Amino acid sequence: MSFINKHVCSRRSFAKFSALTSGAFFINTKHTRNLLSDAPASPPTTPFIQRLAFAPFAVPLAEGVRLDPLPIPEAHQRYDEFVPTKYYEMVAREVQARPHPQLGLSRFSTYGGSVPGPTFISRCFDPIMVRFRNEMPHVMQGFGTPEIITHLHNGNNAPESDGAPWELYGPGHFKDHHYPNWPSSGDINECKGTLWYHDHALDFTAQNTYRGLAGLYLNFDAIDSGNELDPNPDALRLPSGVPNGRETDNCHDIPLAFVDRRFDSNGVLTMDPMDLDGYLGDKWLVNGRVQPFFEVKRRKYRFRVLDAGPARFWTLCFSNQMEFKVIASDGNLLPHPIVQTKVEMGPGERWDIVVDFSTLPASTTEVYIVNRREHDTGRGPRDTLLPLNASPRVLKFIVQPGAVADPSRVPENLRPLLTIPTAGAVRRDWKFDRRNGMWAVNNKLFDEHRVDATVVQGRPEIWKFSTPGGWAHPIHFHVEEGRLLRYNGQNINGGVLGGRKDVFSLHGGDEMVVALRFRDWIGQYVMHCHNGVHEDHMMMIKFEIVASGQ
């Protein structure tokens, strides 16, 4: 059973009324708040005294055990084509935890009791059903809402399983999500790789994800098989072995969820729900822990790097400026690995990189991931990078001595990149701006009852994203991925931005032209800024996919 909570709209109605009657009610448009200097600092914590943590795997129900009550097949598009092979039940509940031993106990909203939530290990063409059950307290302390709705970010799913923000439901209820794990148009070269799932509750996405409602969803296939010893000649044999809980032996495929958080004088997680600029923290967390360490062998590792928000942009590199290979962006594997010394990401973006620690001198015993992006206001990151020696150290690697066997590889050819046709494409302009102190798209505040674009299934589209102001907006559209054609007038041919992506980070004055198609489903989806605060305060549109000829 699931339902739409019709009472949560009261806050949204109040916000709209206040914004339209007094532009200064929420945001002073002439003075940008500097969170890092205005907000009280978190208590000091000693870095690198706790191990990097890993979420447990999501475990399907045992064979023969059924969900009770049974799912309703008729509620899901194309269910008979994608009959689930596995069933999961994921409980959203509140727990108390310390993200650092020197901090106090904080209340976290979680999937399955962990932050991040349990990691799904799935395979392309292997459909599953996930029942998300809400066991949150009816009354929240501090911030957030007990109503939830889960979005599988970059999932190619029908709208009834996409996590539409207005379909939120309260404690004591559940919703079934049908995940076909179907690559667009059934092409194996469009199999997804690094996805993540998170709460998408209308008006409360930033608060609920900040409290912990997020997790990783990793998808494998015959090419990216997750087995570096795979005898299949077509398999890439990338570094493999995803950690399950705290087990890290022979694990070389490592998810890293980066977030920033802030804590009050008692060391308790805090957030200002009425700060609409974009909330920034002053503590660096990886996989839910403040500045942890991770022991690595002298061999190759695959790191799946996620900016889990809500507002901070990151420029990540190694303290010794070592090179690594970027192998995937949001949409999965690139055609070829690209050698880089840094990755840039905004909220919602992901990069898969391969780091070879065997190239380090024998005398090197530790190296750090640092964040060089200077970002101290809700307006967005600054154009300049921090000096390497003045950049915050976020994650410490302890490099173990001695050579080890390493059967993994990074082939020169990864996955072909299919062209999105543009002939006859429908062109749409989307301007991300502010209206009377609120966040707007094309000068309109989001209305869940209004369709802003009708898209014909399968027909090419070219969308232009722009932001005239000095604010940064990572733009995410649901269900499909796009290809960046032009960035500020320059054609994009290859490179790290040339792959399939579902988040496009706009900075002040930017313009991006993106090609895309919506192919497998019909119904209503959303596009929005993935700065969770901007999203919650109406920087979102609804589009509807209709069948050809309708």
Per-residue pLDDT reduced to its tens digit, 413-472: 999 998 899 999 999 999 999 888 789 999 999 999 999 999 999 999 999 999 987 899
Q: What is the pLDDT of residue 169?
A: 98
Question: How far is residue 95's CA from residue 136's CA, in Å, rounded to a whole number?
Answer: 9
Highest mean predicted confidence (pLDDT) among 176-190, 237-251, 282-296: 282-296
Mean pLDDT of the chain: 92
Are 185 and 306 members of one domain?
Answer: no
Structure confidence by residue, pLDDT tens digits, 383-401:
889 999 999 999 999 999 9
More confident residue, 445 or 548: 445
Write out the two tokens for 370.
């640092």
Q: 259 with 206, same domain?
A: no
Taking the complete model, does pTM exceed 0.85, yes or no? yes
> Mean pLDDT across the stretch 473-483?
96
CB 299 within 8 A of CB 169: no
53 occurs within a structural domain: yes
Instruction: Read off the pLDDT of residues 304-317 as tens digits, 9 standing for 90 and up.
Output: 999 998 999 999 99
- Which residues are registered as beta bridge partners of 542? 526
pLDDT (tens digit, 9 = 90+) per residue, 221-249?
999 999 999 999 999 999 999 999 877 88
DSSP string, 326-343: EEEETTEEEEEEEEESEE
Share of the chain above pLDDT 90, in %: 85
User: How many Å apart are CA 273 and CA 316, to the nearest integer?
Assistant: 28
**Contact yes or no for 177/194 (Cβ under 8 A):** no
Tokens representing residue 387 in the block: 């000096």
CA dihedral of 299, 233, 480, 160, whole degrees rounded to 10: -100
Least confident of 14-18, 183-187, 211-215: 14-18
Are 54 and 82 within 8 A, CB to CB? no
Do residues 215 and 279 share a domain?
no
Kindly indicate the confidence band of residue 277, based on its pLDDT and cuts at 50, 70 and 90. Answer: confident
Task: Please check whether residue 299 lies inside any domain of the structure.
Answer: yes
Domain tally for the chain? 3
For residue 171, being part of any structural domain is answered with yes
Pairing of strands 174-179, 194-199: unpaired
Domain identity same for 436 and 373: no
Q: What is the 3-state secondary structure (H, E, C) of 416-456?
A: CCCCCCCCCCEEEEEEEEEECCEEEECCECCCCCCCCEEEE
Quick one: average pLDDT of 166-191? Answer: 95
Let me know if residue 28 belongs to a domain.
no
| Residue-level pLDDT at 88 | 98
Same domain, yes or no, for 210 and 65?
Answer: yes
Do 334 and 328 contact (CB within 8 A), yes or no? yes
Same domain, 399 and 434: no
Task: Judge residue 171's burial from the number of C-beta atoms within 10 Å of its C-beta, 0-12 exposed, 13-18 middle, 19 or more buried.
Answer: middle
Whether 87 contacts 122, CB under 8 Å:
no
Res 550: pLDDT:
65
Across residues 170-196, what is the average pLDDT?
95
Please name which of 504, 505, 483 lies closest in space to residue 494, comparing C-alpha atoms: 483
Looking at the fold, whether 214 and 265 belong to one and the same domain comes out as no
Q: What is the mean pLDDT of residues 104-112?
A: 97
Domain that holds residue 307: 253-403
Is residue 367 domain-shared with residue 508, that is, in the same domain?
Answer: no
List all residues 6 or more positions away from 394 whose beta carbon is below 8 Å from its beta carbon: 258, 284, 286, 291, 316, 368, 369, 370, 371
Please answer whether residues 206 and 230 qualify as being in contact, where contact means their C-beta atoms are separated by less than 8 angstroms. no
The answer to whether 218 and 255 are in contact (CB under 8 A) is: yes
Same domain, 94 and 207: yes
Question: Residue 363: inside a domain, yes or no?
Answer: yes
- Going by pLDDT thresholds of 50, 70 and 90, the confidence category of residue 38 is low
Q: Flag whether 243 is in a domain.
A: no
Lowest mean pLDDT among 4-13, 372-381, 461-470: 4-13
CB 322 within 8 A of CB 364: no
Could you tell me if residue 411 is inside a domain? no
pLDDT digits (tens, 9 = 90+) for 58-100: 999 999 899 999 999 999 999 999 999 999 999 999 999 999 9
Burial class (CB within 10 angstroms; exposed 0-12, middle 13-18, buried 19+) of 276? buried
Q: Examine the pLDDT at 36 and tell me if it is beyond 80.
A: no
CA–CA gap between residue 220 and residue 302 (Å, rounded): 14
Residue 12 has pLDDT above 50, yes or no: no
In a shared domain, residues 208 and 304: no
CA 10 → CA 15, 170, 291, 444, distances in Å? 9, 16, 39, 19
Q: What is the DSSP letter of 68?
A: S
Does the residue 26 lie in any domain? no
Radius of gyration of the chain (CA): 22
Token pair in block for residue 252: 């070389």
What per-residue confidence (pLDDT) applies to 240?
98
Q: What is the CATH number of the domain that holds 282?
A: 2.60.40.420
Q: Is the pLDDT of residue 11 over 60?
A: no
Q: Are residues 338 and 436 in the same domain?
A: no
